[in-house]
Amino acid sequence: MAIYLNDVSRTFGEYLLIPGLTSKLCVPSNISLRTPLVKYQIGSKPALRLNIPFVSAIMQSVSGPELAIELARNGGLSFIFGSQPIADQAEMVRKVKKFKAGFVVSDSNLTPEHRLADVLYLINKTGHSTIGITHDGTPNGTLLGLVTSRDFRAEKDDYNMKVKYFMTPFEKLHIGKVGVSLTEANQIIWEHKLNTLPIIDDEQKLAYFVFRKDYDNHRDNPYELSGEDKTLLVGAGINTRDFTERIPALIEAGADVFCIDSSDGYSEWQRDTLFWIKERYGDRVLVGAGNVVDREGFEYLIKAGADFVKVGIGGGSICITREQKGIGRGQATALMDVAQARNEHLEKTGVYVPICSDGGLVHDYHMVLALAMGADFLMMGRYFARFDESPTKKLRIGNNYVKEYWGEGSNRAQNWQRYDMGGTESLKFEEGVDSYVPYAGKMKDNLNITLGKVKATMCSCGAITIEELQKNAKITLVSSTSIVEGGTHDVILKEQT
């Protein structure tokens, strides 16, 4: 007969946190949510850290470039979905990396002989309102002028008017020379009240732009997740089929970290993928693997070289793997089992391997439970799909606004590679659904509320870091009656007008 595990598969909704001593230090402003993203030797620092413990799911309906930019600006990280052509995914990664680099290579350029119609087309195509005018229309041509939205009136000016007649000519521009520091460039911007500072070389060739908005954005987003080169950090999802072609293209595009996207990570396919990456690139390329739900799966993947391990099968809001295949485990039970294996591995080797909890989060307090149970960071799909920045359509159904949300295991996603078991290239049956989620508005507004709840709960547990939370949190199993007691009861709610 099969091996029978004599435990109950439990979810986050079956647990509560018991308050710890809230010291005077335990106030939200003192809470640090920094957490390691990839493995590291104790005594050294991880190559990558998150400033908040959130990453967005590797999904078509969630992790596009706009959401990746906004999440990185707020301290988290997105994994751009891999269920698309390699060139398209690489271009999405490039878009994130170009968003903020301090010194930005111009990708919106024209010549003086172009017309206003060309300017409007380029603005509409790229979304950029600053256009470098060079002698040959290239990013590094001789700088002859600059066009911004203040140089023309689209509703009145002749669309055939040539750029040279309305651009701000080079002689009237404030410029910086290659070699100027970012601090010095920003000082020039402030002194002359500029929005854009072109940086040129000794031959007057355009090298970069420095934008005032980048300085403002950094000031307004103190937890921004960026590298030494000042570019935002971004991840990319990969599969176990075309990784030999996909990974080099994504590295060239600037991806900072990878994650193998699969519903079941305890497989030789993932082992072979990890072996190939580590043999070819070593620790220069960081890659997570998963998903698993027990210590055996975790140990298998870290032995193969995984830099972090993703935990969870069947707990996602649009996932029907458990219904279709009877495969999975309650997210809380799976997480605690893998966290125990992670801690034992740490004691034996001195190497800490972060784990990511993927799925099963219904309420915001479940996030704190997941962190207390051992997760270093959380991967979420439904949470991020609701926001303006997700790549799906906003629709009105009845009196409510919603956004489309579909699983990578649905026929709509056509992501058969995620469920690859070595057979033919097709999806045999669905393991996800096509659905809607309530529209919630801008990410930043909602994220601030969620992080406020997380920090308040940590204060009640007497912890000001995630590490302290994992060491000191007290968790209790609750009965079904206790769950009912936790909601409103024995009152008549007022009608909202």
Q: Which of 370, 306, 373 is nearest to 340 (CA)?
A: 373
Report residue 224: phi and psi, to 5°: -50, 135
Provide DSSP, 421-437: -SS-SS--S-SB-EEEE
List, by residue number, the catalytic residues.
319, 418
Residue 133: beta bridge partners?
110, 145
Q: Which residues have C-beta within 8 Å of that of residue 374, sequence separation ≥ 6?
A: 335, 336, 338, 339, 340, 342, 343, 355, 470
Task: Tell me the residue length of the chain.
Answer: 497
Token representation of residue 497:
């007008």
Q: 42-55 in b/e burial notation, b at 16+ Cβ within 10 A?
A: eeeebbbbbbbbbb
Q: Which residues have C-beta within 8 Å of that of residue 304, sequence separation ≥ 6?
A: 270, 271, 274, 275, 289
The DSSP bridge pattern shows strands 355-358 and 308-311 to be parallel
Alpha carbon separation from 382 to 52, 72, 85, 336 (Å, rounded)? 18, 18, 24, 23
CA 213 remoteness from chain centre = 22
Q: Are 311 and 355 in contact, with CB atoms under 8 Å apart? A: yes
291-294: long-range contacts at Cβ-Cβ below 8 A with a sequence spacing of 24 or more? 291/262, 291/263, 291/264, 291/265, 291/358, 292/265, 292/266, 292/334, 292/338, 293/328, 293/329, 293/334, 293/337, 293/338, 294/329, 294/334, 294/337, 294/338
Q: Which of 381, 339, 376, 374 is nearest to 360 (CA)?
A: 381
Token representation of residue 476:
């209790």
Token representation of residue 401:
């606004």
The DSSP bridge pattern shows strands 377-380 and 355-358 to be parallel
Q: Which run of H or E residues covers position 485? A: helix 480-485
